[in-house]
A and B are shown apart, each in its own frame.
Chain A
Amino acid sequence: MDENLKQDSQLDKTVENNIDSGAEVETSQNLKQETVSDNNETKKETAVAQNNVKVISPGRMVLKRFFRSKLSIVSLSFLVFLFMFSFLGPFLTSWGESEADESPGAPVVVQIRHTSRTRVEDANSVEMLLIQMLAPHLSDATIANAQRALVDSEFLANNPNARLNNNDNMVMLARLYGTNSEGGMSATGRVSPAGGGIFMHANPIPGGPSITTPFTVVVRGRDHHIYLGVIDEDDGPYGTFIITEREQIRHSNNPRERNINARPNANQLLGTDRSGYDILTRLMYGGRISLTLGFVSVAISLTLGLLFGGLAGYFGKWVDNLVMRVVDILSCLPSLPVLLIFSAILDGMPQIPVHLRIYVVMGMLAFISWHGTTRVVRGQILSLREQEFMVATEALGLPVSRRILKHLIPNVMPLIIVGAVTSLGSMILTEATLSFLGLGVRPPAAAWGLMIASVRDPQIMIQYPNQWIPAGVLIVMAVLAFGFLGDSLRDAFDPKAKR
């Protein structure tokens, strides 16, 4: 690297010499000869000094090389744009992060609940009922059964707007187990959760009301939960029948109703999501979260890495041993499961207010990654420590702190900076993963991963790609940009290394 730099600066000097001191013929001749005597050089130097030769520090050379590459300029500009988009953008839009579009005339979401209870005579044979999720891939016969059961129940009678659509992929039914002739269900024990849900069945009560197995029906994009069961209460068992109709879209003039799932329009450039929030605005706020989380976590991780890696690399022996054993242990921890555990712990601590949660998440992310930084820093310091200029600083009798701060660290920084920029990219990915799983920031706050999570609803996946694809695209581009930036920085710092 030194050779390269020297040649670069020699080249600069040649150019300037030829331009500025044309009379100095001796100058170019000197440069051409191999054996330049120091005396001649001194003379030339004096002459040149009067021509204001630019001093090019190593730092400035790095910047020059960096801006020479088109890729770095492109990625840098994109990141600048991203920052402005996330932090300044919200001032330009008319929507807030969790501000629902409640314009009149928009479609409406309503929650309807039907409840009824019946006394059960014989309490001995009943356990309890739980309703859970749904199982895919049922045979036609099963589907027909479900439809019949639904028709038989009073549900449809009470809800003239409900429709059954069994061509739609989105019909998901619970697994049903046969019907007896009275229309009630018989129980066969417990279903394994392989289908993704937990069921338990009631045993039939002889002479009592028939108990239907609970099931869930999706009707034209709507989601209903139907709960039937027998519950043991203080005064005896009760059969309970609860249907919660979640989102029923109806047009009305009620001003408190929300504009959900809107298509991109002039008011909301990317449309609205299920709760009526403007997608574009939420993208901006999500960007704030991702970028902030990324930077803070990387900063923490970097500090810890510099500290411990530095201690380990510089002092060696037992310090090194201790730190590296800890790092080894931490690197064996599986990162995603541990993050999930952290989130669960966080959930179990109600004392932590919601807005502090994000800082704890930052700490979690940093905790997962600092062992990597420590290793890198230590390796770099180990290799630098034996370089002669470091031995020279010891020979000069400089105090340890000065040697570390003024000599070691500035030479360690390039690798660190490159590593930090690249980790920013992976930090953003991790944060998105966490919020996708529902463990990062919580709704109604916005995060890119959260926005992609809405894709769980098949309706949204197919019919409203504007709700989840932009977030994914932004994630990819942000991570890409950081990746390219890291690559370009690495090239700028050390052009002789193989890319």
Chain B
Amino acid sequence: MEFARVENEKLNIGPDDILVVSHLKKYFPIAKDFFGRPTRYLRAVDDVSFKVKRGKTIGIVGESGCGKTTMGRSILRLHDITGGRVIYDGQDVTMLRSKEMRNLRTQMQIIFQDPYSSLSPRMPVGHIIGEAVMVHKLVKKSEYRDYVIEIMRKCGLQPHHFDRYPHEFSGGQRQRICIARALALKPKLVICDEPVSALDVSIQAQVINLLEDLQKEMGLTYVFISHDLSVVEHISNEVGVMYLGNLVEKASRDDLFSNPMHPYTEALFSAVPVPDPNIKMNRILLKGDIPSPANPPKGCKFHTRCPKCMDVCREVVPKLLDYGNEHFVACHLYPQDVKNTLIIDEKEAVNEVYSDDVKSEIIT
């Protein structure tokens, strides 16, 4: 089936960019007027753009409630996208109909955060893992069981687990089942939504190692969402920092950790405890609480808590710009007239809105 081919040149997409997210927005209506038309929105994801190259990992970090999970799910069209575009392997998947989307799903998978609630309680594990394989007819019926057992082995499960039920496994094992389920379809892109946050620390290491091994072996691309900086540092090639639905900084892993440019990123890193009693921690304490995503501050969303807030920050939204070596920052501390290499025609990109129920005044 021919998917719509996007004008790659306009968006500066290379052949290796397996995932391009362009000004992605996801709003949830929280108040309706008398006739049921929405009047206020919760802006879970409010203009996020990034690119991921094949076989690499981008880590997305941020506080709870900053919209990371929503973004991850929106990329997979598990939520309807309110605005912006998602381009997978050169194809614009934003508006695909559900039937076409279903076929594409074998290539884009997700691993959920909670290993307890993400497995159907009444299905045997082997079937949980292999169901999608059977439905999408990826292997012949005769080879099905062997195929599933092979995947299970790869993920550190035993063949005799095939007939067991989820409630008989520990947290770490269940997460392995989730991983096996996602990878059974041999996807190219995997969204890892806080996959180790619910596990014991010692198990975390094993699962992370497993994920890395599988990435090497199967050439997977990861979008690794987490609030745990150390894990993200370990596994990512690039890292993006989210705050209240916006990407405030994005750079390669080494660049970001050695040279955080955004005040929020600095504060985040300063809060990571260092296990050396002799080093005095210089914690940057942010004043105030995180604002509500239903009523975000004007201008730069971080300005209410930023220690370096200026007048312009209160009025104008800073643009996400490249300051060398693909280190993107959205902050007025840095010059705002640098050429943005991610999107060429910014004004047009910003005005692309697909859902009818979003009023235009919100998109400014």
Contact = CB atoms under 8 A, between A and B. Distances in A.
Nearest to B108: A395
Interface string A1-28: 1110110010001000000000000000
A46 B158 contact: yes
A194 interface: no
B119 A389 contact: yes
Interface stretch (B161-169, B230-238, B253-261, B273-281): B161-169
Interface in B165-216: 165-170, 172-173, 176, 178, 181, 185, 200, 202-203, 206
Contacts of A49: 158, 160
Main SS at interface, chain A:
helix
Given A395-B78, A398-B132, A402-B135, A55 B121 contact: no
A397 interface: yes
B151 to A, nearest CB: 14
A397 B167 contact: no
Contact of A57 (B76, B118, B165): B165
Given A55-B163, A388-B112, A394-B78, A41 B200 contact: no
B172 A38 contact: yes
A42 B156 contact: yes
Nearest to B115: A388
Nearest to B116: A2
Contacts of A391: 73, 78, 112, 118
Contact of A41 (B103, B124, B170): B170
B282 interface: no
A55 B173 contact: no
User: How many residues of A sit at the interface, in one of the four size bands?
Assistant: 35 or more
B173 A38 contact: yes
Interface residues of B, number: 48
Contacts of B206: 37-38
B64 interface: no
A199 B176 CA distance: 85
A410 interface: yes
Given A2-B116, A35-B200, A46-B158, 9 more contacts: A2-B117, A57-B122, A58-B122, A388-B118, A391-B118, A392-B118, A393-B120, A397-B136, A411-B122
A2 B132 contact: no
Interface string A289-319: 0000000000000000000000000000000
B21 interface: no
Nearest to A37: B202
B105 interface: yes
Interface string B12-47: 000000000000000000000000000000000000
B165 A58 contact: yes
B114 interface: yes
B173 to A, nearest CB: 7
